Structure 1
Amino acid sequence: MVCFRLSPVPGSGLVLLCLVLGAVSSYALELNVTDSEKAICLYAKWQMNFTIHYETTSKTYKTVTISDFSTATYNGSICGDDQNNPKVVMQFGSGFSWTVNFMKEESTYTYSIDDISFSYNISDNTTFPDAKDKGILTVRESVGIRIPLNNIFRCDSLLTLEENDVVQHYWDVHVQAFVQNGTVSTKEFLCEKDRTVTTVVPFVPTTAPSPTATPAPREKPEVGSYSVNNSNGTCLLATMGLQLNFTHNKVVSVININPNTTDFTGSCQPQTALLRLNGSNIKYLDFVFAVKNENRFYLKEVNVSMYLVNGSAFSIANNNLSYWDAPLGSSYMCNKEQTVSVSGAFQINTFELRVQPFNVMEGKYSTAEECSADSDLNFLIPVAVGVALGFLIIVVFISYMIGRRKSRTGYQSV
């Protein structure tokens, strides 16, 4: 028998299954697998999402994030017996499934989270519009985390698995297989990330950051020029200095993008445009632009995947942004430093920014719409010049009056 419910993070009340499961990232999935006597034999509570990068029929690339598990069922989840090991099996969406297998090792009095597999239906046009491939695709990751028997495994930190353009994120994990006497243990076995008190900087930038909570001040990044071409010529232009700020394992890191060692590509469609950057430590950094109201463009989406020194990946995706808004047929410009907040763990600082993702004519920027910070500066300059000229006129006038008065005094003396 399988029982499941939605459980919110601490500080909120219980949410019934009829509400949206997984649509709000603060809610955790919770599962109790029971035996024939209705005693708990496997317990799990966790949060997760999946980020999938795929190719479209037009040879462009898109990224989707799956975090809605409102249709979740758990058919096939079992306690395990002499013939089968325990496992959690979850079905959701249209042809999506997720499985975690456990193994018991009597000789070491431990059990292990053996492997995790995730299958997704790339034929689902709602989730993967215009996908080139079709059918059910599966990624399987060996985990091999060993846990003492009668201990519950806990990991509050973010765990990331990446395989074949699929990034799996897990956090707030609590799981115990082989539950004894129907009672979940109070003894916790912490994951390595939660046990780590101090963490080395997980990224190797050009200039290594200080391994403290606050990184040392960084130099202004070099400004690079990027472009995307199609059959009609240049269709996207971008000029900017990029500084990436991210937090991993409670360590803040800042790196500057070096345009001299960065490759770029992309694609242009009538309603969307993509600029993709990649380098030795960056698998991809995507800027996705979109048209709104048929007369303006804006930055709608940013996706990033960076390699860490431990071999894992730091990946973030957000397709609900609203930055760099300007009319179609023009460019957007902001010379002053500007911050694009992709998530709480990842921000991009831009310098001397200018972009035009649509309607590029003859490979040149069109008239720019300036950001408010630049507009304020441009407004203050003539005001300051006007004040200075006014002050100069007053000084000249006072000097003239004083000189004229002295001249009259001299004539009276004669």
Structure 2
Amino acid sequence: MTDGDAFAAPARFPSARPSPPHGAPSPAAGNMEPRWSPRGPLRLPRCSACLLLLLGTAGFFLSYAVEVDVKDASNATCLYAHWMMRFLIKYETNSSDYKNATLSLSSNVTHDGSICGNDTQAALLAVQFGEGHSWSVNFTKTNETYQADFITFTYNTNDTAVFPDAKRKGPITIVVKDTMHPVQLNNVFVCHNTDSVEAENVTQFFWNLTLQAFVQNGTIGKKESRCDADTPTSAPTVLPTVANVTTASTTTLSPVPTTAPKPVENPDTGNYSLKSENETCLLASVGLQLNVSRDKPLLININPKTTSADGTCGNTAATLRLNDGNSRFIDFTFVVKNASANVRRFYLKEVNVTLLNHVNGSVILSADNNNFSKWDASLGSSYMCRKEQTLEINEVLQIHTFNLRIQPFLVKENKFSTAQECSLDDDTILIPIVVGAALAGLIVIIVIAYIIGRRKSYAGYQTL
């Protein structure tokens, strides 16, 4: 089975948050609180809201669908939304390691701060849940359309159920700008497929979305504007997951000739880079293939044409995060060792992989290995290995790499530095092996010829 059979491409979902007041500073990522409030200048008098919670399940984790119906002063609906969401958060532990935490909506969701909006003020959809977590998205309008502007997400690491050993305590706020396609007024925006938004070690997942901002006359529109991934002509389907893709049908209508399975070709090589202050700080060129072993092996090639790169650069640590556009996320973390020595080297220390079901956003597989010592090279150079390599993530997941070249530190002029090649690419060791084998074969031939010659010489004499 190919990778396209197992997972489908996610849709893009509007990311939004109100713009700061004129002249106000932007919030710094990770601050306890943003420096400007998204609610103050947008507050409308006598605006009430109604919140309904619909219990549902999604994969491994209990998840809640949220329905928010915001009313204006006349008790007419002015903002409506129904959706599901989940968060994957990478955080630092007390032992200075990093872990992934999954945060889902709980049953105690509130809607404080949700606002209708009007021609001059943005609409705001805001929810609070769990132990001090909150999420909001704002919408602006023109004469004919509306669209989202910013998403604000605050998670509280004091929530020991989600972050049992977090090194940093307290609320952490991130802001993401991701402009959606404008939607016609009176239209409902619908997107059943999964969307993902990444920023500051947080990936936000959304699915089963229905919303309408600036509802007119209190009546939800009947015409839908669908996201790109939701084709109106296709019937809803439940795509296979890793757990069931190997299950075969037991019903046979007619004999089918047995054919060998088509081998999966090697993946295409993708080129990825990260920038810091408009300067390239990380370069990577690699073909990636996931090997999931459940019942039968499932090989998934990562398509570089749909894969985007994100991450962080630093003096002693760097992370490359790849999102292949099909609900698969791979993080490679590199560190510098011997930081105080004259000769400094870098190596691959940690790999994290998350596979999601695009239909409901549930986690199909989440695996990590933070004890690697791979891809070792001198700082300021690059590491290269053309031959296939295998990274053992855990007992059910491997990553195969092809045509690898990586430089996570000290990139100059947007080019790879001199490469240090892996032992698999070193052909010099083959020369003595080939020469030795040839000499051994020559000796064997001489011995065999000598034995045959002696036997022929004895055959000309008879015993008296």
User: TM-score, normalization: structure 1?
Assistant: 0.48
Q: Which has the higher contact order (CA 8 A, sep 6+)?
A: 2
Bigger helix share: 1
Structure ranking higher in strand proportion: 1
